[in-house]
Each structure stands twice: as C-alpha cells, then as structure tokens.
Amino acid sequence: MTGDLARLSLNTATTKRWTLREAIDGAARAGLPAVGLWRDRVAEAGLEAAAKTVRDAGLRVSSLCRGGFLTAADPAGVRAALADNQAAIVEAAALNTDALILVVGGLPNGDRNLAGARARVADRLAELAPFAREHGVRLVLEPLHPMYVADRAVLSTLDQALDLAAPHPPDAVAVVVDTFHVFWDPNLAHGIARAGHENRIAAYQVCDFNLPIAADALLSRGMMGDGVIDFTPITRAIADTGYTGDVEVEIFNSDIWSAPGDEVITTMTARYRELVLPHLTA
C-alpha cells in the first residue's frame, strides 16, 4: 500500500456493528492497509480464520485489543489474569501483530490503594514479559484518561506507563499514545519524546474528545474534528520521535456505531487527511 493512506488503520471498535469479515472488507474497499482487531471479533470468527481473512485481504494487523486487567490481589484473580494475557499473546502472534494493547485494570472492589494496584501491575508484567518476548509480541501499556482510573486503568499518563515499562526491553514492553486519553496531560510532549527516546512507541491511536461527556463515559470518543483535541502538536511530537508505524482510528460512540460503516470510513479518511496526515512527517 502506498499513497496518503499507507499508515491508516481501522480499529474494529469504530465499526462495532460489523463482523470481523465486514470490517476487513470495508477497510480493503477504502484502500486502507491495516486493521486493529478486538479479541471478541477474533473469537467470533475463530483465530485461524481471522488470520486467514486478514492475509487474504492483503492487510496487516496493526494491534490486538486487549489484554490487561492485572490489578487483582487474590490468587485466583492473579491466575486468571495471567492465563488470559498469555492467551492474548498467543493470539497476537497468530495474527502476525507485535502489539498487544493492555488496559491494565482499575481498583479491585473495596480497594483504595492506587500505588498498591500499580505495584501489582508491575509484578504481572514481570511474569508476562518473557512469555511475550518469546512470541515476538510487545505488551503495550495504554494510559487512560484519569476519569477511568478507578475502574479501568490505574495508569493515567505516559510517564507512569514508561516507568512501569522501564525494567523491560523495549521489544517486550512498550506504550500506545491514544489522543483521547492523553491530550490533557501538561507533560505530554515530554512523555512522547521520552517514549521515542526509549524506543517504546508501539502504536498511535487517534480520535477526538467530545463534549458533553456521554452518560456512559466510554462513549465520549468522537471523530477527529468533532471535539476539543488539537491533533497538530500531538502528531508532530509523534513524528519527531521517528515513529513510522500505523495510525489507528479507534472510536466508541453510539452515533458512529449506528451509521453505515462505509460512511464512517469515508469520514474517517477525510478527517485523517485533513487533521493528522499533514503533521506525520517531522
């Protein structure tokens, strides 16, 4: 794939109502070279069938979402988290992607100790990183917006994610820069530069931050240009690191999910060309 869409990837969350095959077919029709996959869609299709469908379409898998939820304190919860993440690593390898996105988990019920929860994430990474490296897969830490710190991710900034990644080789543990989650951070430019210097940027995901925040805060992501994010400085900072990987559009939004998938991709590519692509080269 060449041309101005050579780095654009459709994350299947953006066209949630499409099956895996429909999303792959839609991406291929639009001239996109890549898709970011969610494990539920892969499971519905079957792992081998999913990998074959991507290959047959001539696409690549930019990332697999998601592993993580590593903050359990009880032995059964720890065992379950390790088993699920090991399975996700195997799936990522079978799909020929080296990026397994991790949403690390929030506070277990009744727990108010954020530092303790983050320490348990560090412990689980130490157990999983060698297994991931053996399979050629990077554990990609995703810091989430602080409004999700209690229930989804005890990591809120790139610096926090990079601190957890630091004990491990860059080909084992890395980070994703997701504009929705990190645009607010006053230290974002430093965090991106640090991630680039440490060779830990495994993925760049873009979407907007819409207002008012939806009743279900998970659904406040929007199409680029519809919210409050300035993509210019973030994308330029990414470009300045030398990152040459894919740019995924990942959107959770009920109105976008209700729209025809091909129309969503048409809008997505137009907004990418207008708001992101001009700033992708340093």
Assigned fold of 8-279: TIM Barrel (3.20.20)
Taking alpha carbons only, the member of 51, 123, 38, 128 closest to residue 89 is 128
Pair 35, 24: CB distance under 8 Å: yes
Record the tokens describing residue 216, joined without a space.
């279900």
Amino acid, single-letter form, for residue 209: F
Task: Please give the average pLDDT of every successive group of 10 residues along the chain, which has 282 residues.
Answer: 86 97 98 98 97 98 98 97 98 98 97 97 98 98 98 98 98 98 98 98 98 94 98 98 98 98 98 98 80
Mode of pairing for the β-strands spanning 8-11 and 208-209: unpaired
Rounded to two decimals, what is the model's pTM? 0.97
Give CA separation, 280 vs 35, 52, 167, 177, 276, in Å: 19, 31, 30, 14, 7
φ, ψ of residue 237 to 5 degrees: the values are -65, -40
Handedness of CA 142, 243, 92, 207 (dihedral sign): positive
Give the Cα separation of 161 and 143 in Å (integer). Answer: 6
φ, ψ of residue 200 to 5 degrees: the values are -120, 10
Give the Cα separation of 70 and 82 in Å (integer). Answer: 8
Domains of the chain: which residue ranges? 8-279
Please give the pLDDT value at position 3: 85
| Burial (0-12, 13-18, 19+ Cβ within 10 Å), 150 | middle
Please give the pLDDT value at position 2: 52
- CB burial of 63-102 (b: ≥16 within 10 Å; e: otherwise) equals bbbbbbbbbbeeeebbeebbeebbebbbbbbbbebbbbbb
Helix axes 75-94, 47-56, angle to 10 degrees: 30
Taking alpha carbons only, the member of 141, 154, 70, 145 closest to residue 112 is 154
φ, ψ of residue 64 to 5 degrees: the values are -120, 130
